[in-house]
Chain A
Amino acid sequence: MNRIQTLLLALAGILISSGLYSQTLTGVVSDGSGMPMPGATIVANGGARGISTDIDGRYRLDLGVGTHRLDYSFVGYVKVTREVTLAEGQTKTLNVQLETDAVLMDDVVVIGYGVQRKKEVTGSIAQIDSKQITSVRTPSFEAALQGQAAGVQVSQSSGVAGAGSLIRVRGVASVSAAGDPLYVVDGIPITQNYFLRGNSGAMNNNPLATINPNDIESVEILKDAAATGIYGSRGANGVILITTKRGKTGTSYEFSSSAGFSNPASLPNMLNTEQYLTLRQEAWENDGGTGYVWLPGFTSAGDSPESRKAAFEEAMLTSTDWVNETVGTGVKHNYSFGARKGGDKYNVYTGVSYDDNGSYLIGNSYERVSGRLNADFEPVEWAKIMVSSSLSQGINNRIDAAWSGGLGDAMSNALPYYPVYRTDTLFNADGTIQALPGDYYLYQDEWGGTKNPVAVRESKTWITTENRSINNASIILTPKDNLFIKGSGGFDYMHVREDIYNPPSIFLTSDLGNANRYANYVLNWNYSLTADYKMDLTEFSSLGLLAGSEFQRTDSYGYGIGFGDVTGPIFENDSLLEVANGQTTVNNPSQHSFLSYFGRANYTLKDRYFFQATARVDGSSRFGRNYRYGFFPSLSAGWVISDEPWFESGTLSFLKARTSWGKTGNAALPDYARFGTYSAPDNGILYNGQPILFPLQPANPNLRWETSRTVDASIEIGLWNDRVTTELAYYNKSSQDVIMNVSTPPSTGFTNRWDNVATILNRGVELSIKSRNTVGKFQWTTELNFARNYNELQSIGEYTPDAVSGGTNDSRVITGSPVGSFYLMMFSHVDAETGLPVYLDRAGNETFDYDNNERQYVGDGLPDFVGGMTNTFRWKNWDLRALATFSYGAKIFDSSSKRQLGVVTSWNMRTEILDRWRQPGDEATFPRLTLDETTYGLPSGFPWWNTSLFVFDASYLRLRNLTLGYTIPQIGEGKHAIRDLRVNASVTNLFTITSFPGLDPEVVRDFENAQDRNMSPNVTYLTPPQERAFTLGINMSF
């Protein structure tokens, strides 16, 4: 009964109060060129909520009698404040023009669990708006962050459709726990598992691929502890907040579309048949062989000279360009439509999109269909309901890549003398026909696999389907002025299903094919409750308080099922699932949860001194009771010096200093790493018919959070009335108790153990500059960001470098070196007299002996500095935007070179090998050719020549994107007018300046697990290069 009374009273209050406002303020908000601005925000008297202009930039406000302060704002424009006095019953018109702003000090930025004026921000936050995200066409939104924010290193994915980027915020601070930033979409920390299917097909799934970039309003990247501290245990590697679009007053529509094509940014330079056979013959003769060399797939070393000669001559008749057989032109097109509608009590945004992104790898594409509905409803002034829901599907038409096949085969085991199709008839031993002319020519690789990249591609069916839905519902109550209580519930659903059908033709068998399905489900629930209160303590000071709690639970499970003797993939034969004879493997559910309490206090003095304290207590199911809860505080302060009365400068228009200290954590490790476990009772293993019980994993009840203590200091400067703005930041992040999945000596009874072992230092500076070089009719703006990060693994306890490795990537943990250091035999030079490789041992002595005990640090994949520069030119309706990204000082380990440029084996080689030693006195890059790995000091049978010879400088400057656009401000009049019709042409990766001799100096290969992802940046292994894409696009609003 009390509730009903309260509601009635509230409704009456609303009616009464609205009746008080018989004074009206109207007007139009326009930009510097006089164009109306729909969606601009007007806030009266510093209230929490504002109204938005309609499609024509008009607004109408009902206000009380008296003087009112009105704030007009729009993202990317300087906020304008006006005062207006209204007499009783008066109607006034106030038109306002907003100027674009470089500093955006009065803009609102999204922070954890709230928003804040940028001026008040005491932490390090980079804001990227929707235009910056959609201006570069990328397969997945996160790739568009590259070069946009200082200290945010984005390495683009390979050329495989749907592959994800690698993002590191202020370096990598983890070893075995995931080192990626936390992604939060509309307040929900989303599922971000890259390894649901491991690296199947040389590709990691990209959990961000199904997010439609056109749905994004802004992205905020929280970098220091003051900003990330509110996320406590999840914030050590940075936080990326993604805010999607919402409705605004009025009705408006957006449509964009683009179409284009792509080619590889570079191509491998493999040998043709004549070159390969010449070099192979030379190697054979160098090794003392006589006559013609034996040829893989045709002859063996023990065959007679006559047989070898005949095979050699036959091989010379074919020269297949396998690269050309696997690479083509990718066609891509996308369509996105969004609608916004809003009124006094509601607003709605809805968007749908379709994106078909064909890669240059023949047969490979990623299609995404997505829909989003964001709705806000404000039935009463003190309550608002917000709903966000997205539904998307990504269909990845897969191919084998890298080590798994395709272009990878073309760069390795597909020798140029193998034809694509047979020209002869192949008979079985019993005289029956095995293959006819025109059939695929199938060969065997060194592991006995049946190969032919064309045959596999054309015969195999491989589709990965991801269904994803991210949903959030909130209710915001305002029981009192400036008090906001928000309750939210979120649900993130991910279902990734991989279907593979291998037909019999690629196994040389007359049986039917086999079909497999691997399905993974991740269900992620999130609940939070926050209370946010702002109060003025005195005339000059105010206090903002936030308190909240959050609970998150994630369940993952899945299964694999396989069928032999079938004619097609399971999705074409759903009845197969009803057949009992499928071999099914069920992945046991894996669950984890976080329970958190947090608070934030912001104190503002004289609107120029800002102080913030945050604290968060996190509990995680991943840790035992000994260390279940962690406490993560932060303190920060900001001082807008330029607002001091004594500050006078004709040049400096803005000056702000801020500093922070805080502690954040990381708990991104496997759900059950802490448990000591034994096999299940029904493990199915018997000895002598009797069941067995055995230990699986050692317990570590003391496993605890990684914690990072970060100190940050920065200064923000605006010059010449903010025509030039810059920010310079310094940080020092010391990460303790870094979790390592340590390889333990077998004598312990286990091979691995999760433990808090390492200490990592990340220290760096960041510089951002934005300069409006010219204004007026010809506008030229330059945005430059630069980040230098020093990374050092300061301690790994009593362990040795081999305690943790980056999968097969020869990266190790080396005290005093960065995470992700290459640990290889140091190559010195080729001995001019003998043509043999000369190595350096750890003491620096030259030796011909290749000794794994002498492996040492030979470089690392972390750059000394990275950055991006965007130049934007505008003249009349034309605009030209050029984004260049650069990286300096990182090394790349071209891991495939050890076979492509080493011992002559059953791999094709690259043309660089032509610079090899041939006779005494030769100064050559590569040693004498040999078929015998022991010539280089390698163990017999192991042609994997892991030396620093293949560690290269990966510095580069890349013209990431060049876009030319033309905008027609308005076509038509009235409601049906089309505004901001913009057509554009863009090219991605037009050129790259680098000394790296391989395919691409910017590489994200497939990783085996999170540890490998941290440990092995800049390792390439037959990894397809990035694409060069040409796109025509159109955007419009109406």
Chain B
Amino acid sequence: MLKNMKSLRLIAAIAGCTVALTGCDRMLEFEPGDVILAEDAINTADDLQRMLNSNYDVLANLLNGRQQSIAELLTDNMARPYSSLDYTAVWNRETNFFTPTTGGLYTDFYYAIYRANVVVESFDLVEGLDDATRLRLEAESRFVRAVCHWYLVKMWAYPYGYTADNSHLGVPLRTDAVAPPSPRATVAEVYAQIIEDLEFAKANLPNENGPYATSMAASGFLAHIHFLRQDWGASRSEAERVINSGLFQLDSDLDRYEAGSDSVLAGDLINPETVFGITGGYFSVDGDSLLNDRSYAFRDNFRQDNNLNPQLTFSDDIYDLFQLNSADDRGDWIESNGVTHKVTRFDNKQFFNVPIVHLTGLHLLRAMSVVESGGELQTAIGDINAIRDRAFGADLNDLDPTSNAAAVLAAAREEYRKETLCEGWELDQMKLRGVMGEPETVRDAPWDCPGSLLQFPNSSTTAAGFILNDEGGCL
């Protein structure tokens, strides 16, 4: 037994040495390479700025024609897509939770929202952050958050006013960067937050800030948002704030998609009527690689000069609209063989800036708000004619100054539809008309048929209790 005890002591000693030699937690510490650990990611104001830049980066990847194409497909503006199964599903208004294109769009909007929330929640991580910088960062972040929530609620929920108190389901409202998923908030709640965020941005951002969010950009979006809320006065007020700022001018030509070149950053060629937009990409100096491509979805979906069969072409309805007046220079945006009406608006452009909120839209919004609110028609007529002068030539197709309200509204709506072709704004108009009780159908189906709403992606439902949209009913 004594021998055994000696052996056991020897084993214990060896074990002790082994533990002492190997008992080092550092041997279990490996960190991923070429990435930053979350706890080390944000330490300086520069980190916050780069994080904010990523908000714009996501936004740019959404508004590079992806969102606009989907929105257009839900309107009367587009013909059946050439071959894309996903675009066809959108056009048929039968997306389901397996439709990857719309699922990806939805997901990306929340990427931007999450990142915006991270910026807002990370100020305390940065020592010595000055108040002005902090305020700007928060205002820009909340601007992005608001814009993303708005695009989401417009496409995945019935519009504002669909129920009297807007208690119908909107989309998940995210104002923090915590992990638990959120259920769908009501449309009222979503709009309230959007307006609060944009008002904050409007109050705390400068009027000029390069291609980034500005106070004017916030007003521009608020003009659109209040318009959909049928708050005509507020919409007009916000639009006029931008129009009267003197910071923007209507472009003299019809092309507000400014292209860069191999030596010129497209961001330096921002169109004068762009209130808020996305800066496009540019070629590297050797011309071999495309950098910062922010217009690919427009280019790849619409261009017909380099593609025999572009995915997206205009509908007969649009073709017929332009056939009514051959003097309209915007008719050149269509290349038709009588059957297929291809889009030329983006021909010969490889990469370009994308105006989102622009002066043309705001003029026409104001015109419509004026009419809807019973205001002075001459302001509205002036707005419309400013647009028509550019499209037809000065005074060649002006709206009669004596036109009645109905005619002015019709003209404003028609110009708005033409000017925003491929931009996705017509979807807002269509839904607003539906909410206002006007007879509105899209390709023979009620404007609010269940499939008119995009379906949430399947991943939304992985947490129990999430309520999906109804599907189908539009064919």
Question: CB within 8 Å of B: which residues of A?
Answer: 479-480, 482-483, 485, 529, 531, 533, 535, 537, 545, 547-549, 551, 553, 588-595, 597, 619-621, 625, 628, 671-672, 675-681, 685-696, 698-699, 742-751, 753, 798-800, 802-803, 851-853, 939-942
Contacts and interface: CB of A to CB of B under 8 A. Distances in A.
Given A675-B31, A799-B464, A747 B292 contact: no
Interface string B374-408: 00000000000000000000000000000000000
Given A485-B14, A749-B111, A679 B27 contact: no
B27 A689 contact: no
Contact of A940 (B7, B92, B464, B468): B92
Nearest to A849: B472
Contact of B179 (A533, A671, A698): A698
Contacts of B466: 745
A319 to B, nearest CB: 29
A1003 B191 CA distance: 53
Interface in B62-118: 85, 88-89, 92, 94, 96-98, 106-107, 110-111, 113-115, 117-118
B155 interface: no
B50 interface: yes
29 contacts: A485-B14, A531-B14, A533-B8, A535-B7, A588-B33, A588-B34, A590-B32, A595-B23, A619-B25, A628-B25, A675-B31, A680-B35, A687-B56, A688-B210, A688-B267, A690-B50, A693-B51, A694-B111, A695-B118, A696-B35, A746-B460, A747-B172, A747-B460, A748-B114, A750-B114, A800-B463, A851-B471, A852-B97, A940-B94
Contacts of A942: 85, 89
Residue among B14, B47, B56, B113 with most chain A CB within 10 A: B14
A744 B462 contact: yes
B11 A547 contact: yes
A941 B88 contact: yes
Given A551-B22, A694-B115, A535 B89 contact: no
Given A800-B464, A802-B458, A939-B96, A687 B35 contact: no
Nearest 6 pairs between A and B by C-beta? A749-B114, A676-B38, A941-B85, A747-B172, A693-B50, A678-B41
Residue among A681, A745, A751 with most chain B CB within 10 A: A745
Contacts of A593: 27-28, 30
A692 B54 contact: yes
Contacts of B179: 698, 748, 753
Contact of A695 (B6, B38, B92, B113): B38
A743 B462 contact: yes
Interface in B112-133: 113-115, 117-118
Contact of B54 (A625, A689, A693, A800): A693
Contact of B53 (A549, A588, A693): A693
B350 interface: no
A249 B181 CA distance: 68
Given A593-B30, A680-B34, A692-B50, A747 B41 contact: no
A749 to B, nearest CB: 3
A549 B22 contact: yes
B283 to A, nearest CB: 14
A685 to B, nearest CB: 7
A621 B28 contact: yes
Contacts of B39: 676
B115 to A, nearest CB: 6
A529 B18 CA distance: 8
B57 interface: yes
Interface string B446-475: 000000000001111111101010010000
A679 B57 CA distance: 13
A676 B8 contact: no
A676 B47 CA distance: 16
Given A588-B33, A852-B97, A533 B7 contact: yes
A800 B460 CA distance: 10
Given A529-B18, A531-B11, A695-B38, A685 B28 contact: no
Nearest to A591: B30
A1031 B89 CA distance: 54
B18 A745 contact: no
Contact of B35 (A677, A699, A853): A677
A680 B36 contact: yes
Interface string B264-286: 01010000000000010000000
B410 interface: no
Given A687-B292, A693-B36, A745-B459, 4 more contacts: A595-B22, A681-B36, A745-B172, A747-B181
A672 B88 CA distance: 39
Contact of A751 (B58, B60, B459, B471): B459
Nearest to A448: B83
A533 B37 contact: no
Residue among A533, A589, A751, A799 with most chain B CB within 10 A: A751
Contacts of B27: 551, 553, 593, 595
B15 interface: yes
Contact of B267 (A594, A689, A798): A689
A687 B33 contact: no
Contact of A690 (B28, B53, B461): B53
Contacts of B106: 746
Residue among B7, B111, B172 with most chain A CB within 10 A: B7
A551 B21 CA distance: 11
Contacts of A746: 106-107, 110-111, 457, 459-460
A480 B36 contact: no
Contacts of A698: 179
Contacts of A676: 37-39
A582 B34 CA distance: 21
A545 B11 contact: yes
Contacts of A689: 265, 267, 292
Contact of B468 (A685, A743, A799, A853): A853
Given A628-B25, A691-B50, A695-B114, A679 B462 contact: no
Given A531-B14, A685-B57, A692-B50, A483 B7 contact: yes
B57 A692 contact: yes
Nearest to B11: A531
B244 interface: no
B16 to A, nearest CB: 10
B4 A800 contact: no
A529 B179 CA distance: 43
Contacts of B85: 941-942
B267 to A, nearest CB: 5
A370 B50 CA distance: 53
A48 B114 CA distance: 65
B10 interface: yes
Residue among B14, B30, B53 with most chain A CB within 10 A: B30
Contacts of B291: 686
Contacts of A694: 51, 54, 57-58, 111, 115
A803 B464 CA distance: 10
Interface string B156-197: 000000000000000110100101111000000000000000
A672 B38 CA distance: 13
Residue among A593, A677, A748 with most chain B CB within 10 A: A748
B463 A744 contact: yes
B312 to A, nearest CB: 15
Interface string B293-329: 0000000000000000000000000000000000000
A724 B218 CA distance: 86
B113 A743 contact: no
Contact of A749 (B11, B96, B115): B115
B280 to A, nearest CB: 10
Contacts of B459: 743-746, 751, 802
A169 B179 CA distance: 36
B113 A595 contact: no
A165 B167 CA distance: 55
B201 to A, nearest CB: 18
Nearest to A550: B22
Given A595-B22, A678-B38, A690-B53, A588 B32 contact: yes
